[in-house]
């Protein structure tokens, strides 16, 4: 039932796309940001960090307007061009580990989001939704698509493979050694075929970008209410997405770091854990769990394995059986006193794509007291929780692929 539509993207010119494309602003260190802003006048970071031009930090609505100004300047200078024909954009990423991701950049329906044809599995924070909604309303564009996933489909897969035999519109390699390719799909008959395939899918799922999709939905509601001539065809009725088949989605875990033991000694903490876990000291050698409901722990210079006791915990819902939720229900909340996983400053997260040594280093530095690891959530768990209308704890999944900002832009 999902409506997946072509759109007219704003894109960098072929000769500048590698210079424009950027990671999410927050993923750069200050030194990395400064280097790109100082030496690359075409970086998309100049748009999202407009205060650089005035050598000062600018926030709030003033920043939003300046972001729009920088964006319009890029268009005026022909760094960006606006496509004339609604298209699907076939996108391929080959990462440094030779993992390949193939998908379609397209517009998804805000109404489908409202009706739950596009399913969610993660909670969002209301004030963040509204802040980003106000940002979108002022700047008038979105440059980072929401990642959606759908059941593998032979028809769509065949179309993608056939188009990829042609020369790509874009081909560039990042400093992370990921290679990105983009093809324009303008053929109306093929577009209609793909649309029909998506319409036959009862649901698709948000993999990454819950706040972006929620903010786009709020923008749709606002604009619809304020437009007496609303037709349903306006650009605010959709939001930009990157759709990939479930088999190509890569899900990593997030490790948990906690600053203290909530007033407990090491021995008192271990005794409380023993009530619900079978504990084994693994010594100084790095250890990662290999099964569901098994956890790793690093504490006071040593690794431990924690095996959930089968008689000590009941699985009443699909969420109860999720490892990040088990960790919260059995350790983080009752023993370490962390109730608000989003806002408690005592907890932090490291994505599981990084080595377990990163957890060890954070504990050994003294900044944190204990760290926990687990195996990744799988796609079926994620879908089951979404289908049940439940929400995972924050930072339950670190999902790939990650697209670059500024390669395709959706204007409202």
Residue 271 located in a structural domain: yes
Domain co-membership, 247 together with 258: no
Mark whether 259 and 300 lie in a shared domain: yes
- Do residue 130 and residue 274 come from a single domain? no
Residues 133 and 246 in one domain: yes
Q: Does residue 119 lie in a domain region?
A: yes
Q: Name the residue among 94, 107, 106 with its Cα closest to residue 185.
A: 106
Range of the domain at 47: 4-251+400-411
Q: Do 240 and 168 sit in the same domain of this protein?
A: yes
> Is 74 part of a structural domain of the chain?
yes
**Minimum mean pLDDT among 222-226, 263-267, 303-307, 351-355: which range?**
351-355
Contact 184, 89 (CB under 8 A): yes
Average pLDDT, the chain: 95
The pLDDT confidence band at residue 125, using thresholds 50, 70 and 90, is confident
Asked whether residue 164 falls in the same domain as residue 88, the answer is: yes
pLDDT at 314: 87
Do 236 and 87 share a structural domain?
yes
pLDDT at 343: 83
Q: Residues 238, 277: one domain?
A: no
Nearest to 373, CA basis, from 345, 352, 354, 346: 352
What's the mean pLDDT in 327-339?
A: 97
Q: 120 and 207 share a domain? A: yes
Mark whether 126 and 137 lie in a shared domain.
yes
Sign of CA dihedral 215, 20, 37, 63: negative
390 assigned to some structural domain: no
258-261 contacts: CB < 8 A, separation 24 or more?
Answer: 258/332, 258/336, 258/338, 258/346, 258/347, 258/368, 258/369, 258/370, 258/371, 258/372, 259/345, 259/346, 259/347, 259/348, 259/367, 259/368, 259/369, 260/346, 260/369, 261/336, 261/369, 261/370
Q: What are φ and ψ of residue 369, in 5° steps? A: -100, -35
CA 245 – CA 189 distance, rounded (Å)? 22
| Domain-located, residue 389 | no
User: Per-residue pLDDT averaged across 400-410, rounded?
Assistant: 95
Number of domains into which the chain is organized: 2
Residue 391: is its pLDDT beyond 90? Answer: yes
| pLDDT tier at 307, thresholds 50, 70, 90 | very high
In a domain, 392, yes or no: no
Write down the pLDDT at residue 58.
Answer: 85
Is the pLDDT at 1 greater than 80? The verdict is no
pLDDT at 354: 83
The sheet that has 254-258: what strands, in order across it? 277-283, 302-308, 294-299, 370-373, 254-258, 347-351
Question: Phi and psi at residue 118, in whole multiples of 5°?
Answer: -100, 110
319: in domain? yes
Stated pTM of the model: 0.92
Residues 150 and 282 in one domain: no
Residue 317: pLDDT band by 50, 70, 90 thresholds?
A: very high
240-268 pLDDT, tens digit per residue, is: 999 999 999 999 999 999 999 999 999 99
**Angle at CA of residue 82, ends 76 and 87, nearest 5°:** 170
Do residues 122 and 265 share a domain?
Answer: no
Q: What is the mean pLDDT of residues 204-226?
A: 96
Buried-exposed string 380-410: b where 16+ CB fall within 10 A, e elsewhere:
ebbbbbbeeebbbbbbbbbbbbbbbbbbbbb
- Judge whether 185 lies within some domain: yes
86-112, pLDDT tens digit by residue?
Answer: 999 999 999 998 999 999 999 999 999
Average pLDDT over residues 212-228: 97
pLDDT of 24 reads 86
């Amino acid at each position: 039932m999902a409506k997946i539509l072509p759109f007219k993207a704003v894109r960098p010119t072929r000769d500048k796309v590698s210079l424009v494309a950027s990671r999410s602003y927050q993923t750069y260190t200050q030194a990395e940001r400064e280097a790109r802003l100082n030496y690359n006048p075409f970086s998309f970071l100049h748009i999202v960090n407009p205060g650089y031009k005035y050598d000062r930090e600018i926030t709030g609505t003033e920043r939003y307007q300046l972001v729009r100004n920088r964006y319009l300047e890029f268009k005026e200078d022909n760094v960006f061009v606006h496509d004339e024909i609604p298209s699907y954009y076939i996108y391929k990423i080959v990462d440094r580990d030779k993992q390949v991701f193939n998908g379609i950049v397209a517009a998804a329906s805000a109404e489908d989001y409202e009706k739950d044809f596009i399913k969610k599995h993660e909670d969002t924070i209301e004030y963040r939704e509204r802040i980003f909604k106000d940002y979108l309303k002022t700047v008038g564009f979105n440059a980072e698509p929401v990642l959606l996933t759908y059941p593998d489909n032979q028809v769509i897969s065949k179309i993608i493979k056939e188009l990829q035999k042609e020369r790509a519109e874009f081909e560039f390699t990042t400093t992370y050694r990921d290679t990105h390719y983009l093809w324009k799909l303008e053929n109306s008959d093929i577009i209609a075929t793909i649309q029909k395939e998506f319409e036959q899918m009862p649901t698709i799922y948000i993999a990454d970008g819950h706040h972006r999709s929620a903010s786009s939905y709020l923008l749709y509601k606002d604009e619809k209410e304020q437009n007496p001539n609303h037709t349903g065809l306006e650009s605010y009725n959709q939001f930009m997405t990157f759709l990939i088949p479930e088999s190509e989605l890569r899900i990593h875990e997030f490790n948990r770091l906690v600053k203290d033991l909530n007033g407990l000694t090491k021995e008192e903490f271990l005794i409380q854990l023993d009530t619900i876990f079978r504990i084994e000291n693994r010594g100084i050698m790095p250890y990662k769990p290999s099964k569901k409901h098994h956890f790793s722990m690093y504490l006071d210079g040593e690794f431990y394995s924690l095996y959930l006791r089968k008689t000590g915990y009941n699985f009443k819902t699909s969420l109860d059986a999720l490892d990040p939720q088990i960790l919260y229900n059995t350790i983080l909340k009752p023993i370490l006193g962390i109730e608000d996983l989003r806002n408690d400053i005592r907890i932090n997260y490291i994505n599981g794509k990084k080595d377990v040594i990163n957890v060890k280093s954070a504990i050994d530095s003294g900044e944190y007291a204990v760290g926990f690891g687990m195996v990744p959530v799988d796609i079926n768990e994620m879908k089951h929780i979404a289908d049940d209308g439940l929400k995972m704890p924050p930072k339950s999944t670190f999902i790939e692929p990650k697209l670059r900002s500024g390669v395709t832009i959706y204007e409202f």
